[in-house]
Structure 1
């Protein structure tokens, strides 16, 4: 009886079964095209020549596992202070045929026994460093992530008088925060961004395949 019912549906409403098969076939074709594109782009990124290996300026050292996390990239000690640096690409523009990067640098200066740390948000260029803001914020969490402040953290940096702004620049320059960091951080970001892109192509491909 069930077979007769199915057969009857196929006779009287054949378009439903045909449409289902057509939809499945089209979906499979679309998936295959997307998977091929993901694979091709993955291989293209994998073949890219990385920039020459650059070491961070002494005495900064690379934080273990930095390429796989969103935590600090570099750290150093300065007397009894601990300094951690975070970085991301802020902008990229062109001057004639040259690509010029502007990096966004977050500097965290902490001291033992103090709940807050002094934090600087800076723009880093190949030949200069500019401070965007200075604030007092809770110390780094144990996982390396920055805590969101719950209280007033400081004035707009541009509202400070020129002398104080210059003194803050001298403060971080004394601790090695300057344009000499740019070559390493630029190369490090290239490697990190390529790894993230390859990981994205791979994970999307695995999802589409249902793996």
Structure 2
């Protein structure tokens, strides 16, 4: 959906860009009027896309499975999305789209709307322990697969995932009994495919908010540039 929104007027805009570029090249250097025309075209295109995205219907509201709760401010940060307690443990869930982590040659951009492959980071911490047990997983509508398990300092944001010195052994190289036990460990703590509907809807809303903010911030920058240029 986002790809279709962003390319709503791509063909028409591209024709306009080429017309301006051809005119500028014909007369040697880019004139002030050509630069102003480029800015105006960009602002119109940004506004069209902004309005299109604003009219998108959000998905139905989905609540996370109990006893997980949504962390306040998660939509505006790169921190954890969900948390719960399990005995003395604190379980924190981070999520990203798997397509943002692994780009395969066979990726089909038309399947982008489904957000059917999620990258899950599960942080299990205990009081008084500097390190936490952390799982990197793939989450799907009907399954959860563990990619790796490691001991690391407790995370603050999702960017910290790639900053560890050691990511743990390759999960598939572990003994089958160990793999099964680790799956049981996180499933006992409620980390399974039941999280998928909420996290899928949550990422949709976050993508929407990010895209709206991007159109607004770029438009504001161009408007300020035009104001400054007009003063000189």
In the superposition, the TM-score normalised over structure 2's length comes to 0.76
Whether 2:191 is the aligned partner of 1:177: answer yes
Q: Secondary structure at the match of 1:140?
A: coil
Quote the residue 2:177 is aligned against: 163
Which whole-Å CA distance do the structure 2 matches of 1:129 and 1:102 have between them?
10
**Contact (CA 8 Å) 1:127, 1:179: kept in 2 or not?**
yes
Asked if 2 retains the 8 angstrom alpha-carbon contact of 1:93 and 1:101, the reply is no
Q: Which residue of 2 aligns with 1:85?
A: 93
1:63 match: 71
Residues 122-201 of structure 1: pairs in structure 2 closer than 5 A: 122-141=137-156, 146=160, 148-150=163-165, 152-201=166-215
Q: Residue 101 of structure 1: CA displacement?
A: 1.1
CA contact (8 A) 2:148 2:167 kept: no
Looking at structure 1, the residues matched to 69 and 199 of structure 2 have their Cα atoms a distance apart, in angstroms, of 12
Question: What do the CA deviations read for 1:118-139 (whole angstroms, capped 9, x no partner)?
Answer: 0000000000000000000012
The range that moved more, 42-51 or 154-163, is 154-163
How far apart are the structure 2 equivalents of 1:210 and 1:22? 20
Structure 1, unaligned runs of 5 or more: 1-18
SS class of match (1:101): coil
Quick one: distance in 2 between partners of 1:113 and 1:103?
A: 31
Cα distance between partner residues in 1 of 2:221 and 2:139: 38
Q: What SS class does the counterpart of residue 28 from structure 1 fall into?
A: helix
Residue aligned with 1:40, SS: helix
Number of aligned positions between the proteins: 190
- Structure 2 match to 1:76: 84
TM-superposed deviation, 1:155: 1.2
Secondary structure (helix, strand or coil) at the match of 1:176 reads coil
Q: Distance in 2 between matches of 1:145 and 1:79?
A: 28
In structure 1, what is the Cα distance between the partners aligned to 2:207 and 2:224? 26
Structure 1 counterpart SS, 2:98: strand
**Which 5+ residue runs of structure 2 have no aligned equivalent?**
1-26, 100-106, 226-232
- What residue in structure 2 maps to residue 115 of structure 1? 130
Q: Which has the higher helix share?
A: 2
CA–CA distance in 2 between the matches of 1:48 and 1:60?
Answer: 28
> Which residue does the alignment assign to 1:102?
117
- Compute the TM-score of the two structures, normalised by the length of structure 1: 0.83
> In the TM superposition, what is the alpha-carbon distance from 1:74 to its structure 2 partner?
0.3
